[in-house]
Amino acid sequence: MIAPRPIVEWHIGGGKVLTLDRTYIMGILNVTPDSFSDGGKYAHVDAAVARTYEMAAQGADIIDIGGQSTRPGHTPISPDEEWQRIQPVLSELTGSRDFHAVLSVDTYFPEVAGKAAAMGVQILNDVSGFRNYSMRCVAAQFQTGCVVMHSSQLKEDADVCQALRRFYLVMSNVCVADGIPARNLCFDPGVGFGKSYEQNLQIAASFEQQCMEGYPMLAAASRKRVIGMSCGNPPAEQRVSGTVAYHTACLLGGAHILRVHDVPEAVQAAQVADAIVRSHSLAKIIKNRE
């Protein structure tokens, strides 16, 4: 079933507004030595900046920069070390007149988030779901866009859609109460975080049922374990087609944004999915007029 995807506006830092009348692509830049898919590949500043420009040229609307791996079994680092990895890349990008993509930072440290926002980063992507009061204060101070991700452990018999919608509702109320406008919030079901293989599949299969009306919804399954387990567990870099399949299901269920490693493939798949959604919507309008 193809779900209607109402156009929503996402207000982010710097007073910028993203009108999500098509699928937006968020390119992943891991400046880490240990990320599950591309750890170490972009740890050097020059390589990271070059990769950022490459993704923007390939069609990425947003670049999400992360300095700490969140793969299963990762070794956490301190806020200072995470900032040391991120800051040189941000300095190059925010100081350039040639870079025009939106910048996002993937962090759950309020200290890192505040420094990044002060440099002009427009979106904060928090895998802990903005449950930290200090993180919410940073987002409220700088009026950044916020990707609020669900990462709590779900029980084996949990109703996935119900649990996600409950989380979205609770956190939207909490964030608004602490000064973050509702229009700045975007929700991410957290594929691969605290969920079983079957529950991760259910997210894509029932995306429409978990969407929060009026809010941007993000899907982020790029190269993850749920993709590998569904197609014979190939190496992470060989899970591009599987990622496209999963994300397309999410798009047809109402997702607005895809967070991906492989930008050209995601852009092309999104263009086709968007065309299908527009055609479906037009057919419904014509049918209703008859």
Q: Assess whether 224 carries a catalytic annotation.
A: yes
Catalytic residue among 51, 223, 224, 239: 224
Q: Do residues 210 and 167 make contact, with C-beta atoms less than 8 angstroms apart?
A: no
Q: Assess whether 51 carries a catalytic annotation.
A: no
Q: Do residues 51 and 29 make contact, with C-beta atoms less than 8 angstroms apart?
A: yes
User: Does residue 233 come out as left (phi exceeding 0), alpha (psi in the -120 to 50 range) or beta?
Assistant: left
C-alpha torsion 16→256→160→166, nearest 10: 30
Q: Which among 155, 250, 259, 264 has a CA at the least distance from the CA of 209?
A: 250
- What SS3 state is found at 123? strand
Catalytic residue among 259, 278, 284, 289: 259
DSSP state of 217: B
Burial group, residue 4, by CB count within 10 angstroms (0-12, 13-18, 19+)? exposed
Q: Do residues 60 and 26 make contact, with C-beta atoms less than 8 angstroms apart?
A: yes
Cα of first residue to Cα of last residue in the chain, in angstroms, is 22
124, two tokens = 């904060």
Instruction: Give the residue numbers annotated as catalytic, written as ranges.
Output: 224, 259
